[in-house]
Structure 1
Amino acid sequence: MRRQLTHEFQNLIDRGRDRQLRLAVTGLSRAGKTAFLTSLVNQLRHAGIDARLDLLKSAREERLLGAQRVSQPDLGIPRFPYDEAMTSLEASPPQWPEPTRGISELRLQLRYKTRRARGLLGDTATLTLDLIDYPGEWLLDLPLLEHDFLSWSEAQLKGMGPARQQYAQAWQDAVAKHSADETVEESRLAELAAHYADSLRQAREAGFSHLQPGRFLLPGELQGAPVLQFFPLPGVGEDDRQALEALPASSLYQVLKKRFRFYQQHVVKPFYREHFRRFDRQIVLVDVLGALNAGPERFEDLSQALATLMRSFDYGKRSLMNRLFSPRIDRLAIAATKADHVTPDQHANLVTLLESLLAEPIKDLRFANVPVRAFSLASIRATEPREVESDGKRQAALRGHGLDGEPLLVYPGDVPAKLPEPEFWRRQGFAFTPFRPAAAGPAALPHIRMDAALEWLMGDKLR
């Protein structure tokens, strides 16, 4: 207990001196969180040796001396599996690291030379960097706090488009055999909830993103717990509220209502209170290319999911008191990942498309004078740009290896610079090809614009 209090006291001192930074990394499934964090740690560990970090000012000026991993402060949170991720990348053949399934953490200490007046180098200083990895799906649950069970249930069922509906059909057929007023055995409730969770997983595999509750997809330590055994109730709406509220506690409606409420109070709220409100800065990773590949309904679904996710943040400028006792996110990066899966001439379009997807949240942030910047990046570059000749013309292409190990030379197509028009979907001019990572060696991992993201997220702390 005394050691924990000492840690907390030291954290307060470091926050007051601006020597501690808590950087949260999130994104929906397949956005590349594990690759990003692995590359971030790897680049900082190789700083000043062989890492290519020209856009990180402290590295360019040779003031960043390096980074070391140290014990994380919260021993109750799983450690981010950096060593396991590097083992996958160094394997023969190399493999992408296994994605994390819940919250994890890693602490680095960065050593750098400070700048004095007139550009002279001063003493060395230390920045403690806490990296927190958590699923974006969990943020999709925060709007649940605005609902009660009936309004949430209605919203979920109304929000299903035709393509999404097909994955929910088996669950709807199963739940249609029961009425809101009947008593349903625990085993049957678990069965129906499993059907619903399976429909969410199938929808995610098909490219959908706006799926609730998020913990049904990534349950973590709640796997098998009754708190995850509820689901929307078809066939009822606001007009039925009075009759539904009069039903006995053992009825299907009342049991689902109770579990929904428990989920709000004991899963959603604690995550926000215990973890989310403690973050200083945030990067949101977005798989824009995967959504383009999946088609218009899934692309629109990603747009809705991102809008929901962005509403969750508590942004704002921080006073000293706020930094010490109630930190809020004061700088945001949004990044379109897998930029190495399109040719370099398409990177600018990837950024403007991402900004179009998040146009309304970005406007709100800028109105509140909160710094936000969009990037396209590849945490771990898997391809090399090339040119090929076709019909007497030179055309950009990518060279790499497919997931099956076969060598590939492809042109994925043009990325639209703004939200796609119907014509784009009719001709389907984009074909996203997944690539295997290049074999990792003792040198720093190859990347695209990781240094630009690092400069934005922490460069001001390394002056």
Structure 2
Amino acid sequence: MRQTLAREFSNLIERGWDRQLRLAVTGLSRAGKTAFLTSLVYQLRHAGLEARLDLFPAAREGRLMGAQRIAQKDLGVPRFPYDNAMASLDGTPPRWPEPTRGISELRLHIRYRPQRSGVLGALGSSNATLTLDLFDYPGEWLLDLPLLEHDYLSWSQRQQMTLTPERRAMAKEWLSAMETLDPAAEADEAELATIAEHYAQSLRSAREAGFADLQPGRFLLPGDLEGAPVLQFFPLLDLTRDDRRRLEALPQQSVYRTLARRFAYYQQHVVKPFYREHFRRFDRQIVLVDVLGALNAGPERFEDLSRALATLMQSFDYGQRSLFTRMFSPRIDRLAIAATKADHVTPDQHPNLVALLEALLAEPIKDLRFADVPVKALSLASIRATQAHEVEQQGKRIQALRGVTLEGEETLIFPGEVPPHLPQHDFWARQGFAFHGFRPLSRDTRGEGLPHIRMDAALDWLIGDKLT
């Protein structure tokens, strides 16, 4: 208890002086959180050396002296595996880092020379330090936060709405088992566990197929809850609001009341503590979105991503910060939304990629701007995997990409055009877009930096104002 109080007091002092920043790196599965965090740490540690950060004024002006990893104060949270990630990237052949499977954290001290103005300038300080706390969370867990807005009946109704024809095909065993399940019958523990596993398997199949709007997230990454009754529930189908009074009058031992009780327990003992202990403490946030992956996968998955993102954006506490809120009630006061894997399309398509991202998140962005929360949309490649080339075809110069596929084959491709707005039926009918997965670029052993696209712009937006 004494150590916890000391840690919190130390954090309050740093936050009071605005010398501590908590950055949440969030996103759905396969959005590239591990690659982003690895690149962010690398670029800051190697600022002024091999890192190329021309769009980051503190680095361009020579004021950013670098960063150092220090021990995090919360010893109960795993440390982000930066060294393992770099070892993968420096392997022969280079490999993408393994995605994290749970919460991880990393603390950096960033040393910089402030501009000669403000309090630090008046005191004559030659340099200053910003403590940057980085938080990484499994994408599968993020979509559990909106569960807090539902009870079991309304959640079941929402899940039924997500059962598109393709999702139904993946849930065949679960749907078959549900046909003979009577919500009013006495619950059979073994039967519920079997049906819950069928439901979890349908979610895993949907994730592998590229779907994102999947709940509950712990069914995909159960961690220490694997096998616990709290994860042995599932939605009941074909229920309406008119059924509520009849269902809630059923005995406690009924299927419906048992599933509703487990759902409520999941909300209270899994989702709420996760939200309270982690998500309410952030100052800045970046949401990473694999727009290209959804575009590549087809209309059902693209619409699914749109729903998932809209739901996700409702779960965070946004607003301007004062000195008081910074110290005692942190809120996210600046947000970046990034379309990742920008190196998987040619440079001339990057503006379209940003426009498509903004179209996907049009309503949340409008709400944020109305609330005067600064938000920036951009495209980036945390770790570049291709090189842009121009080739001549039928007398015209066109842009293409050169890289090494995940299977080890060198290739030169033109992946297609990204629509600058939400795609209509004719786009899907043409099948005019297809991108391939690539290995990371091999780094020169003579000290070549970790190549990226617009990581410097992301850094400037997220922390640049704290380094002035």
Displacement over 6 Å in runs of 4+: 118-121
Structure 1 position 122, deviation (Å): 5.0
Distance in 2 separating the partners of 1:154 and 1:308:
15
Alignment partner, residue 63 of structure 1: 63
SS at match of 2:411: strand
SS at match of 1:115: coil
CA contact (8 A) 1:115 1:122 kept: no
Letter in 2 for 1:286: V
Alignment partner, residue 150 of structure 2: 147
Distance in 2 separating the partners of 1:47 and 1:223:
43
1:455 paired residue among 451, 454, 460 = 460
CA contact (8 A) 2:27 2:139 kept: yes
CA contact (8 A) 1:412 1:432 kept: yes
List per-residue Cα deviations over 1:80-102 (Å, max 9, x = no partner).
11111111111111111111122
Letter in 1 for 2:28: L
Distance in 1 separating the partners of 2:161 and 2:390:
48
Alignment partner, residue 39 of structure 1: 39
Letter in 1 for 2:460: E
Structure 1 position 41, deviation (Å): 0.4
Distance in 2 separating the partners of 1:140 and 1:264:
12
Alignment partner, residue 433 of structure 2: 430
2:450 paired residue among 434, 438, 445 = 445
SS at match of 2:203: helix
CA contact (8 A) 1:277 1:327 kept: yes
2:241 paired residue among 223, 234, 238 = 238
CA contact (8 A) 2:28 2:142 kept: no
Matches within 5 A, 1:396-415: 396-415=399-418
Range moving further from structure 2, 266-275 or 343-352: 266-275
Structure 1 position 444, deviation (Å): 2.5
CA contact (8 A) 2:20 2:130 kept: yes
Distance in 2 separating the partners of 1:209 and 1:391:
41
Distance in 1 separating the partners of 2:324 and 2:223:
34
Structure 1 position 179, deviation (Å): 1.1
CA contact (8 A) 1:176 1:234 kept: no
Distance in 2 separating the partners of 1:97 and 1:188:
39
Letter in 2 for 1:291: A
Matched, 1:279 2:282: yes
Distance in 2 separating the partners of 1:246 and 1:299:
40
List per-residue Cα deviations over 1:298-321 (Å, max 9, x = no partner).
111111110001111110001111
Cα RMSD after superposing both structures: 1.6
Matches within 5 A, 1:60-459: 60-117=60-117, 122-440=125-443, 441=445, 442-459=447-464
Structure 1 position 127, deviation (Å): 0.4
Structure 1 position 135, deviation (Å): 2.5
List per-residue Cα deviations over 1:340-375 (Å, max 9, x = no partner).
000000001100100000000000000000000001
CA contact (8 A) 1:316 1:329 kept: yes
Letter in 2 for 1:385: A
Structure 1 position 255, deviation (Å): 0.8
CA contact (8 A) 1:339 1:448 kept: yes
The alignment-based identity, stated in percent, is 70
Letter in 2 for 1:345: D
Distance in 2 separating the partners of 1:173 and 1:237:
21
Range moving further from structure 2, 168-177 or 18-27: 168-177
Alignment partner, residue 7 of structure 1: 7
CA contact (8 A) 1:148 1:261 kept: yes
Letter in 1 for 2:343: D
Letter in 2 for 1:73: K
Letter in 2 for 1:207: G
Letter in 2 for 1:446: P
CA contact (8 A) 2:369 2:375 kept: yes
Alignment partner, residue 53 of structure 1: 53
Letter in 1 for 2:54: D
Letter in 2 for 1:186: E
SS at match of 2:43: helix
Distance in 2 separating the partners of 1:315 and 1:92:
43
Structure 1 length normalisation: TM-score?
A: 0.97
Structure 1 position 456, deviation (Å): 0.1
Q: Where does the alignment leave 5 or more consecutive residues of structure 1 unmatched?
A: none
List per-residue Cα deviations over 1:6-61 (Å, max 9, x = no partner).
22211110000000000000110000000000000011110111100111111001
SS at match of 1:459: helix
CA contact (8 A) 1:403 1:436 kept: yes
